[in-house]
Amino acid sequence: MTIYFLGGGNMAEAIAGGLVKQGGYHVHIANRGAGKRERLARELGVQVSEKLPGLSADDVLVLAVKPQDMQAACAGLQTSGALVLSVAAGLSIDTLSRWLGGTRRIVRVMPNTPSKVGLGVSGLFAADGADEADKRLAQNIMAAVGETVWLENEAQMHAITGITGSGPAYVFYLMNALQAAAVQQGFDEKTARSLSLATFKGAAALAESSGEDFSTLQQNVTSKGGTTFAAVEAFNAHRLPEAIEAGVNACVARSQEMAQQFEAV
């Protein structure tokens, strides 16, 4: 069995790198750019080619090109019964199946960028043509770069896109805001970045080790009338929780809109 990647972008590199580090898999990446192929071969030690070679039913094909480029990338592609994993946002199983000659042996995956450091979260949903062995294989592949969660229905792919798929960007947004606030308080850029990073890193580690609800952890450092209380009151006054919810909703809506656009193609 060979795990083939169509596309050698950041997510393909992250997953392939995780598989190589874990060991036990034969990995091959097809990518148009010669420079990228050379780097992937050198840094990951995987086989590379400009185009996909012939596939067999024992192989896995990971579709890792941009959603807007997927139809062209799939044109003339023969899956030969291989298990297909798609990490492209907004492309439904029906759309992918239509572009891949009718195969339903497909598992959709929504990973996120912390997969690059083995701390990703991937939502998975299997088509009706993928059996339990296919699901186990897909889960094992994505477990090489972090945690996995199976979704109850395909519509939840939009929801998990809004939570974990795009979630790291929300965290970076908040980290940047805290860094900017530190600069405003008189710290230099380098120190401000270190303070923000250490605060998020420490808070996440504490939350994981304690197992307590996030709200309880917040209350533990929010004495009524104290300094943290004043900050939280200001956040609430500016409706920060509602703003975050609105952002997630906008992300989910855009994912749904993209799916509808691709279905019409």
| Token digits of residue 18 | 């995780």
10 is in an annotated binding site: yes
Q: Which helix (H) or strand (E) holds 30?
A: strand 26-30
Determine if residue 7 is labeled as part of a ligand binding site. yes
- Is 6 marked as binding a ligand? yes
Known binding residue 67? Answer is: yes
> Residue 65 annotated as binding?
yes
Question: Is 176 a known ligand-binding residue?
Answer: no
Strands 26-30 and 47-49: parallel
Which of 168, 175, 173 has the alpha carbon at shortest distance from 114? 168
| Residues whose CB is less than 8 angstroms from the CB of residue 58 and which lie 6 or more positions away in sequence, other chains included | 1, 82
E strand map for 77-219: 83-86, 106-110, 120-126, 146-150
64 labelled binding-site residue? yes
Binding positions: 6-11, 64-67
Binding positions for NADP(+): 6-11, 64-67
